[in-house]
Amino acid sequence: MCGIVGSLGSFNAKEVVLKGLERLEYRGYDSAGLALLQENKITVFKDTGRVKNLISITPEVESHIGIGHTRWATHGKVTQSNSHPHYSMNERFILVHNGVIENSRELKESRLSAYNFRTETDSEVVAYLIEYYFNKYNNVNDAIRKTMSLIDGSYALVIIDTEDHHKLYAAKNKSPLLVGVSAEGYIVGSDIMPLLDHCKQFIPLEDGSLVEMGMNGDFSIAIYDVIGKERDYELHDIVVNTSDIGKGAYEHYMLKEIDEQASVVRRIISEYFKDDKLVLDDKVQKVFDGRDRIYILAAGTSAHAGYVAKGYFEKIAGIPTEVHISSEFIYNTPALTQNPLFIYISQSGETADSRACLVKTKEMGYPSLTITNVATSTLARESDAYVDIFAGPEIAVASTKAYVASLSVLLILANYFGKSDMNLKQELSKAAGIMDDIINKKEVVNKLAKEMLTKRNAFFIGRGFDYYIAMEAALKLKEISYIQAEGFAAGELKHGTIALIEEDTPVSAIITNKEINLNTRSNLSEVESRGAKTMVISMKSLSRPSDQIIIDDVDPMVAPMVAIIPCQLLAYYGAIIQGNDVDKPRNLAKSVTVE
């Protein structure tokens, strides 16, 4: 969701910004733009559509300064004028913004009523305020900080002063922003991706920071709080490799990432097992001490991992666990126990709804643990402890390997704090082997997708863990194939939803649990009798010859990680059949940085 790049240094800003924007495409966007120095004047190029359009309208320029943006519309339609960068009223300042300025309308009316606005965006108000206060104070730093003190909401900003081409300014509150540092200059980015080619180190920014970068003779950087006091900062090493973010021989990132799942599970085993013994950070031990209930907070696919994890923590570790969707929890906080532990699951570590909950639960004084794929993310940095899921960069918007990796790590956690008869290391390696087998037979799923996905809707059913897999399977299908799909508790279908079943409605059942497999089979017969076209994904020992996908037996706790894979492939092939953009589905963003 909205990507930002800023570049100041001896590298070619046009290349850094355009490549950076391409690397941020995965976050989701609908327009793109940039500002570069052209014949001693900062010039803006922008349009709706993909970065490749922007590349085609950007002339060949050698610029040492540049800012760029991919916009995911929140305020104002998807139009060229609403795309970023935006000018201030007299074009003294140009900026790009990610986030939402909640009081933009009030600020327009109270302080900027004398001016005409060119766009419908909240971001433009920030540019105008900066120039308005610059005209009063005659100091850019003061003007930006004054603006920061007035705006409510979230922002990551990169700002150019058109009268000083050797300075670049960045400001951050709630929305993610990092500054890459190299001997050649600075690159600002919404995440680490745009930094990779030039920087080996970066500075994560705290909320309420203003960064002033300069290249007058020597390179210089200083970070201030809103009051103007200089802040200390730490340089962190960048550990992501550019080779991890390529598509290789794959047509789509999603298929590559589905294929990588077995190796991700093997990596997790090697990271967390030392001589067959589970090893976790002391900080993780500490947050669990004396806790009487776990509250898992997450969104989307991560919330689906949370539902399975509830079973892990309750069944294996005996800790009562609740799962809440972050966007609901923040405003409808339930009654809490005396000693809760908050576990945040987030592949990006940036989801604004989850971040808002973390701020709230920290204010309430409760310990927090984040399970994430991005060690440098806001949630990882700000919670008391974090556990890495080691999935490697996930570029496709539809999350696949991060889901399986989160489940593996959550199962490890439950086993670490509880007791189970299973040999976890062995079961996880077995699961990795079975994942490879399923992936090697992906053509079977491709064929099934053609047979099954012929309608505008589809249902997935299951009980227990299989119900949670059904929910995730449905989410995958709707995200990328745009088929209206729902995951249901198999027994609940007859209490209303069965009315939707008609001739050839696709219904897929997931059957991995011995105790309840026959009940799910009965529910399947109920829909078959009403004309549904059915498909069964079952565990070998519970299978019937007519089942379409049969998976080798694994421990029921590990089953969700394996059984989801044919569902991910079904969604993938479903999207191909529809001719959709698999990796960048319409309207969706990978990193949802607004509430």
Nearest Cα to Cα of residue 168 among 190, 187, 150: 187
Closer residue to ligand G6P in complex, CB, 7/593: 593
With 0-12 / 13-18 / 19 or more C-beta atoms within 10 angstroms meaning exposed / middle / buried, residue 507 is buried
Closer residue to ligand G6P in complex, CB, 122/350: 350
DSSP string for residues in 13-29? HHHHHHHHHHHHGGG--
Q: Which of residues 50-89 bind ligand G6P (CB under 6 A)?
A: none
Which of residues 98, 154, 261, 351 is near ligand G6P by CB under 6 A?
Answer: 351
Closer residue to ligand G6P in complex, CB, 8/343: 343
Which of residues 346, 481, 505, 523 is near ligand G6P by CB under 6 A?
Answer: 346
Nearest Cα to Cα of residue 258 among 27, 569, 578, 25: 569
Which of residues 119, 175, 302, 361 is near ligand G6P by CB under 6 A?
Answer: 302
Which range, of 13-21, 64-72, 111-119, 341-349, touches ligand G6P by CB under 6 A? 341-349
Question: Closest separation between CB of residue 471 and ligand G6P, Å?
Answer: 12
DSSP string for residues in 243-288? GGG--TT-S-HHHHHHHTHHHHHHHHHHHHEETTEE---HHHHHHH
Q: Are strands 293-298 and 340-346 parallel, antiparallel or unpaired?
A: parallel
Which range, of 213-221, 316-324, 346-354, 447-455, touches ligand G6P by CB under 6 A? 346-354
Quick check: bond before 85 cis, omega within 30? Answer: yes
Total Cβ atoms within 10 A of residue 540: 12
Which range, of 262-270, 293-301, 315-323, 446-454, touches ligand G6P by CB under 6 A? 293-301
Site for ligand G6P contains 592 (CB under 6 A): yes
Which of residues 94, 538, 590, 594 is near ligand G6P by CB under 6 A?
Answer: 590
Collapsing DSSP states into helix, strand and coil, what is residue 560? Answer: helix
Which of residues 82, 354, 481, 505 is near ligand G6P by CB under 6 A?
Answer: 354
Phi-psi region of 290 (alpha: psi -120 to 50; beta: other; left: phi over 0): left
- Identify the residue whose tokens are 């992906």: 442
Which range, of 114-122, 234-242, 273-281, 340-348, touches ligand G6P by CB under 6 A? 340-348
Closer residue to ligand G6P in complex, CB, 95/475: 475
CA-to-CA separations, 256 to 261, 394, 396, 400, 582, in angstroms, rounded: 9, 10, 9, 10, 12
Closer residue to ligand G6P in complex, CB, 348/512: 348
Q: Catalytic residue among 19, 172, 442, 590, which?
A: 590
Closer residue to ligand G6P in complex, CB, 359/588: 588
Total Cβ atoms within 10 A of residue 441: 13
Instruction: Determine the Cα–Cα distance for residues 592 and 595; give it in Å rounded to an integer.
Output: 8
Which of residues 280, 336, 577, 588 is near ligand G6P by CB under 6 A?
Answer: 588
Which of residues 301, 383, 538, 568 is near ligand G6P by CB under 6 A?
Answer: 301
Helix (H) or strand (E) holding 534: strand 533-539
Question: Closest separation between CB of residue 20 and ligand G6P, Å?
Answer: 20
Q: Which of residues 398-427 bind ligand G6P (CB under 6 A)?
A: 399
**Angle, in degrees to the nearest 10, between helices 442-452 and 559-578:** 60
Question: Closest separation between CB of residue 15 and ligand G6P, Å?
Answer: 29
Backbone angles phi, psi at 483, to 5 degrees: -80, 135
Closer residue to ligand G6P in complex, CB, 348/534: 348
DSSP string for residues in 60-92? ----SEEEEEEE--SSS-S-TTTSSPEE-TTSS
Site for ligand G6P contains 584 (CB under 6 A): no
Site for ligand G6P contains 328 (CB under 6 A): no
Question: Closest separation between CB of residue 595 and ligand G6P, Å?
Answer: 12
Question: Closest separation between CB of residue 159 and ligand G6P, Å?
Answer: 27
Instruction: Determine the Cα–Cα distance for residues 87 and 117; give it in Å rounded to an integer.
Output: 10
| Number of residue whose CB is nearest ligand G6P | 300
Site for ligand G6P contains 593 (CB under 6 A): no
Whether 590 sits among the annotated catalytic residues: the reply is yes
Which ranges in 396-552 belong to alpha helices (H)?
401-417, 424-440, 442-452, 465-481, 517-528
- Number of helices (H) and strands (E) in the chain: give both, helices first: 18, 26
Question: Closest separation between CB of residue 590 and ligand G6P, Å?
Answer: 5
Helix (H) or strand (E) holding 162: none
Which of residues 32, 37, 101, 299 is near ligand G6P by CB under 6 A?
Answer: 299
Question: Closest separation between CB of residue 406 and ligand G6P, Å?
Answer: 8
Which range, of 9-17, 236-244, 342-350, 518-526, touches ligand G6P by CB under 6 A? 342-350
Helix (H) or strand (E) holding 235: none
Closer residue to ligand G6P in complex, CB, 74/429: 74
Nearest Cα to Cα of residue 537 among 556, 514, 565: 565
Phi-psi region of 250 (alpha: psi -120 to 50; beta: other; left: phi over 0): beta
Closer residue to ligand G6P in complex, CB, 310/590: 590
355: tokens are 């971040």
Q: Which of residues 14-43 bind ligand G6P (CB under 6 A)?
A: none
Closer residue to ligand G6P in complex, CB, 151/397: 397
Which of residues 24, 188, 380, 397 is near ligand G6P by CB under 6 A?
Answer: 397
- Residues in binding contact with ligand G6P, number by CB under 6 A: 14
331: tokens are 């405003």
Q: How far is CA 99 from the centre of its chain?
A: 15
Question: Closest separation between CB of residue 147 and ligand G6P, Å?
Answer: 29
Site for ligand G6P contains 463 (CB under 6 A): no
What residues line the site for ligand G6P (CB under 6 A)? 299-302, 346-348, 351, 354, 397, 399, 588, 590, 592
Q: Which positions are annotated as active-site residues?
A: 2, 590
